Amino acid sequence: MAAELYLVDTSAWIYALRRDSITRIRQRLDQLLQLNAVRITPYVRLELLTNVRTEEEFLRLEKGLGAVAEATLNNETWNLACRLGFSLRSQGVSLATPCVISAACAMHHQAILLHADNGYDLAASHLQCALESYAYLLPA
């Protein structure tokens, strides 16, 4: 049986990497990283790296993320994202475009989408991928 893969959304990375990190998210991400089960999209990498404050933080994060295997976004994935976004919208479900991209990528790679974003939870019944949600840990 193949090991499970986890596509980690920006929302989970942010709460794991912050100085005041959410312990359960950080520990779960550390556990999955040790198992080499984490995948990251180029888009999530972009979101994370463009939001650091200093060159030192950029270089440290760039190096760390460089060790994480990439879940590619090929034409098939982009087409799936387009179809998913349209389908969600036509059913009255609003999900931010970056989240649509991550969900489509998780679906394409048959990965579990690990996140800390209520938007995924609200759209869960419309997504064809497993979710591991930590949104309930976020401050109100």
Structure-derived torsion over alpha carbons of residues 34, 77, 115, 20, reported in degrees to the nearest 10: 70
pLDDT at 47 over 80: yes
Task: Give the tens place of pLDDT for each residue, 53-92.
Answer: 999 999 999 999 999 999 999 999 999 999 999 999 999 9
pLDDT at 13 over 90: yes
Burial readout 115-133 (b: 16 or more C-beta within 10 A, e: otherwise): bbbebbeebeeebebebbb
- What is the per-residue pLDDT for 1? 42
Q: What is the pTM of this model?
A: 0.94
Domains with residue ranges and CATH for the chain = 6-135 (3.40.50.1010)
Residue 130 C-alpha from the chain's centroid: 12
